[in-house]
C-alpha cells in the first residue's frame, strides 16, 4: 500500500495525474475562432447556411466591437476584444490623457513591444496603476459588452512587465506614484488590482485573459490575476516554440503542471495553435484532449475555417466520447483513454518512439493503425475501430 501511495504521489509531482476526476464532455472539440479583418468577408453579411455552419462549428469567437454588435443576432457566443494597457497613438485617449502613457526617465513615451519598427510601435503602454486609466478602461468595457456579448477577451494580461522603447528594447518606466523606476513587484500588483476591478464591474460575464503560462504560480499577484478570470488563453498552446524539455523555465512539464493548477481551481484554458504543419496541429489537438477538464477550448487559424468544410480540418469534428480517466504515463509517453478512442502525446524534447497500440484504431485520416511512431513534440488522436 505504501508503494502505491508513493507511486501516486510521484505521478502527481511529475504532472502526470491532474487533481480530481475526469469530467464528461472531454472527448470532443470546443473550437475557438479569432475573427480579425481577414475574416470580414465571412461575417459582413453571411447567408443563413453559413451562419448555421459557424454556429455548429465554433464554440466561441473573438470579435471586435462595435463591428460585431449586429452579428450577435446570428452568433451570440462571441467574446469582445480589449487590450489591457494599449493606448493607440491616434486615439482621443492619447490626445486627452497623455499622462496615462508610461514614460522613461527623459519623458519619452513607451510602448507595448509588438510590431515595432523605425522607432515606433502601434500601441503606447498605458499606466496600469492609474486609477483614472482603469476607470475609463472599465467604463469602455462595460459599454462594449452591453449589446449582448457573453464575455470579454483581454489581451496582454501579463504579470511580467512588458514595456519597451520604439525599437522593442525593454525599458523600466517611471512609476508616476513613486517617481522612480517601476518595479516588477509593483507592476504585478497593479495588473492584479486592475483585473480584480474588472471582475467586479462585469459580474456574470466570462473574462478571458490572454496571458503567459511560464509564470510563478506562487506569486500572490499572479494568483489574484488568475482568480479574476474564467479562462486563460495561451497564444501558441502546445506549439509554443519557447517550450523545452523538463519542468523548469519553459519546460513542457511546467506547462502541464500550470494547466493542472488552473483546472484545480475551476479555470478553463484555451490552447491556440500557430501551427505550420498538420503534425503540429495534431500535437496541439492531442494535448488539448489530454488535459481537457470539461471546459477548455482549442483554436487555430490554419484549418479553422472560415468558409466551411472546404477549409475546415475535419479532425476538429473528432468525437472520442467521455474520458475514462485522467492522463497517465504509458511506455514513455502520455496517454488518455476515452470511450471511443485514445490520445498519445510525446513531450517536447523527448526521443522518437514506436508504440504498439492496445487494440485496433484508425487515425485522423481514417487509416487503420496497430502502431504509431511519435517524435518529440508530437501526438496522435486515435479512434477505436
pLDDT of residue 12: 36
Residues 6+ apart with CB under 8 A from 41: none
pLDDT of residue 25: 67
Statement: residue 308 has pLDDT above 60: no
Which whole number is the average pLDDT over 354-363? 97
pLDDT of residue 11: 38
Range of weakest confidence among 37-46, 235-244, 320-329, 367-376: 37-46
Q: Model's pTM, two decimal places?
A: 0.91
Q: Spell out the domain ranges in the chain.
A: 2-384
Statement: residue 196 has pLDDT above 60: yes
CATH superfamily of 2-384: Aldolase class I (3.20.20.70)
Percentage of the chain with pLDDT > 70? Answer: 92
pLDDT digits (tens, 9 = 90+) for 67-120: 999 999 999 999 999 999 999 999 999 999 999 999 999 999 999 999 999 999
Cα(279)–Cα(11) distance, rounded to whole angstroms? 28
Statement: residue 178 has pLDDT above 80: yes
User: Is the model more confident about 17 or about 98?
Assistant: 98
Helix (H) or strand (E) holding 369: strand 368-374
User: Within the chain, what is the greatest distance between any pair of CA atoms?
Assistant: 69
Cα(320)–Cα(313) distance, rounded to whole angstroms? 16
Residues 6+ apart with CB under 8 A from 361: 341, 342, 368, 369, 370, 382, 383, 384, 385
pLDDT of residue 302: 85
SS3 273: strand
Band the pLDDT of 309: cuts 50, 70, 90: low
DSSP letters along 35-71, please?
--GGGHHHHSS--HHHHHHHHHH-SEEEE-TTTTGGG
| Closest to 237 in 3D by CA, of 267, 265, 213, 261 | 213
The four Cα atoms 241, 61, 305, 342 give a dihedral, to 10 degrees, of: 60
Other Cβ atoms less than 10 A from the Cβ of 140: the count is 13
Cα(380)–Cα(333) distance, rounded to whole angstroms? 11
Burial letters 319-346, b for 16+ CB under 10 A, else e = ebbebeebbeeeeebbbbbbeebbbbbb
pLDDT digits (tens, 9 = 90+) for 155-170: 999 999 999 999 999 9
C-alpha cell belonging to residue 243: 517550450
Amino acid at each position: 500500500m505504501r508503494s502505491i501511495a508513493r507511486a501516486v504521489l510521484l505521478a502527481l509531482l511529475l504532472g502526470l495525474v491532474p487533481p480530481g476526476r475526469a469530467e464528461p464532455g472531454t472527448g470532443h472539440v470546443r473550437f475557438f475562432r479569432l475573427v480579425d479583418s481577414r475574416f470580414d468577408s465571412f461575417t459582413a453579411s453571411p447567408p443563413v447556411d453559413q451562419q448555421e455552419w459557424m454556429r455548429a462549428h465554433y464554440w466561441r469567437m473573438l470579435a471586435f466591437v462595435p463591428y460585431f454588435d449586429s452579428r450577435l443576432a446570428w452568433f451570440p457566443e462571441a467574446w469582445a476584444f480589449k487590450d489591457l494597457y494599449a493606448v493607440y497613438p491616434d486615439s482621443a485617449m492619447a490626445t486627452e490623457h497623455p499622462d496615462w502613457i508610461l514614460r522613461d526617465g527623459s519623458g519619452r513615451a513607451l510602448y507595448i513591444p509588438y510590431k515595432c519598427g523605425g522607432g515606433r510601435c502601434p500601441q503606447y503602454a498605458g499606466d496600469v496603476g492609474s486609477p483614472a486609466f482603469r476607470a475609463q478602461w472599465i467604463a469602455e468595457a462595460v459599454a462594449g459588452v452591453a449589446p449582448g456579448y457573453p464575455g470579454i477577451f483581454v489581451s496582454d494580461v501579463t504579470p511580467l512587465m512588458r514595456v519597451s522603447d520604439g525599437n522593442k528594447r525593454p525599458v523600466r518606466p517611471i512609476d508616476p506614484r513613486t517617481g522612480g523606476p517601476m518595479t516588477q513587484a509593483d507592476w504585478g500588483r497593479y495588473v492584479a488590482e486592475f483585473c480584480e476591478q474588472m471582475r467586479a464591474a462585469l459580474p456574470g460575464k466570462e473574462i478571458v485573459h490572454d496571458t503567459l503560462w511560464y509564470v510563478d504560480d506562487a506569486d500572490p499577484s499572479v494568483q489574484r490575476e488568475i482568480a479574476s478570470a474564467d479562462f486563460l488563453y495561451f497564444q501558441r498552446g502546445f506549439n509554443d516554440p519557447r517550450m523545452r524539455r523538463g519542468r523548469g523555465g519553459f519546460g513542457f512539464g511546467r506547462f502541464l503542471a500550470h494547466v493542472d493548477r488552473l483546472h484545480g481551481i475551476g479555470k478553463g484554458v484555451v490552447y491556440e495553435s500557430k501551427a505550420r504543419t498538420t503534425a503540429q496541429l495534431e500535437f496541439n489537438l492531442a494535448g488539448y484532449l489530454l488535459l481537457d477538464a470539461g471546459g477548455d477550448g482549442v483554436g487555430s487559424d490554419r484549418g479553422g475555417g472560415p468558409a466551411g468544410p472546404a477549409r475546415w480540418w475535419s479532425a476538429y469534428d473528432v468525437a472520442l466520447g467521455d474520458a475514462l480517466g485522467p492522463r497517465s504515463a504509458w511506455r514513455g509517453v502520455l496517454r488518455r483513454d476515452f470511450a471511443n478512442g485514445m490520445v498519445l502525446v510525446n513531450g517536447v524534447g523527448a526521443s522518437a518512439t514506436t508504440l504498439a497500440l492496445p487494440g485496433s484504431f484508425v487515425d485522423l485520416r481514417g487509416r487503420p493503425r496497430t502502431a504509431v511512431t511519435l517524435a518529440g513534440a508530437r501526438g496522435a488522436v486515435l479512434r477505436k475501430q
